[in-house]
Amino acid sequence: MLNKDQVVADNDWFSSDLLFDKLYPENLRVLASRHWTPIAIAKQAMALLAPKQGDRILDIGSGVGKFCLTVAQFYPLVEIDGIEQRSELVAAAQQAKATLAIKNAAFFLGDFTEMDFTKYTHLYFFNSFYENLIAQDSNDANNIESADLFNKHNRKLYKLLKSLPVGIRLATYHSTENEMPADYHIVAVGTDEELKCWVKV
Ligand SMILES: C[S@@+](CC[C@H](N)C(=O)[O-])C[C@H]1O[C@@H](n2cnc3c(N)ncnc32)[C@H](O)[C@@H]1O
């Protein structure tokens, strides 16, 4: 993290991924290129999702909160929540939120299935379960490599998505698309083709 005497003006944190990632301790910062959504991708995801004032967004597997905090900064009239299973990452997200003085983001510790998805108008999913398939892809050493777990999480997300009303919008980044029910259609693709915007029809 930056030293106390290294001051960064409020908006400057978002001027580059390199600077933004300095909000986090070294052991989490080194994971950024593989595990945390780049600022430009978060901005583009929101341009595709096109939320309105008062909309509520959920990041399913929010990590250190980089996606949520970027959205909260550039879309101050929406509310965004993140659900994350690792307490160290939730603590890092809350610390970064305090440094940025962001009010419209909240972070919850737990499994994504504990969240009430019906409260949200928009969802974001950055391939959170892939780490169960390839343990080397995990952001910690205690991760369990298990295709069963990957399939179980995908099925749970599939069922949750299936239960949501027509019109719900979801952005995926590096998704295997196994979790997507057939009534979700791709309506836009980012300049990085791994970013896709889906609408339930
Ligand atoms: C690829 S990272 C993405 C982080 C964040 N969404 C971003 O875009 O910067 C996926 C995160 O999902 C979390 N995750 C995986 N399975 C989860 C589950 N069942 N419930 C909650 N979080 C989960 C992981 O711990 C990891 O931090």
Among protein residues, the one whose CA lies closest to atom 1 of ligand 1 = 35
- Residue to probe by mutation, ligand 1, list 33, 57, 85, 111, most atoms within 8 Å of CB: 85
DSSP string, 88-127: HHHHHHHHHHHHHT--SEEEEES-GGGS-GGG-SEEEE--
How much is the average pLDDT of 79-107? 97
pLDDT given at position 142: 61
Entry pTM: 0.92
pLDDT tens for each residue of 2-25 = 544 455 666 699 999 999 999 999
pLDDT given at position 4: 44
The reply to whether ligand 1 has any atom less than 6 angstroms from the CB of 172 is no
Q: What percent of the chain has pLDDT over 90?
A: 80
The reply to whether ligand 1 has any atom less than 6 angstroms from the CB of 61 is yes
pLDDT tens for each residue of 12-71 = 999 999 999 999 999 999 999 999 999 999 999 999 999 999 999 999 999 999 999 999
CA distance 194 to 11: 27
The reply to whether ligand 1 has any atom less than 6 angstroms from the CB of 125 is no
Lowest-pLDDT choice from 25-29, 128-132, 153-157:
128-132
- Partnered with residue 65 across adjacent β-strands are none
Domains of the chain: 10-200 (3.40.50.150)
The reply to whether ligand 1 has any atom less than 6 angstroms from the CB of 112 is yes
Let me know: does 80 contact 123? Beta carbons within 8 Å. Answer: no
Let me know: does 22 contact 171? Beta carbons within 8 Å. Answer: no
The reply to whether ligand 1 has any atom less than 6 angstroms from the CB of 84 is yes
The reply to whether ligand 1 has any atom less than 6 angstroms from the CB of 17 is no
Whole-angstrom CA distances from 194 to 115, 121, 186, 187 are: 25, 22, 12, 14
The reply to whether ligand 1 has any atom less than 6 angstroms from the CB of 86 is yes
Among protein residues, the one whose CA lies closest to atom 20 of ligand 1 = 111
pLDDT given at position 132: 75
pLDDT given at position 8: 67
Let me know: does 113 contact 40? Beta carbons within 8 Å. Answer: no
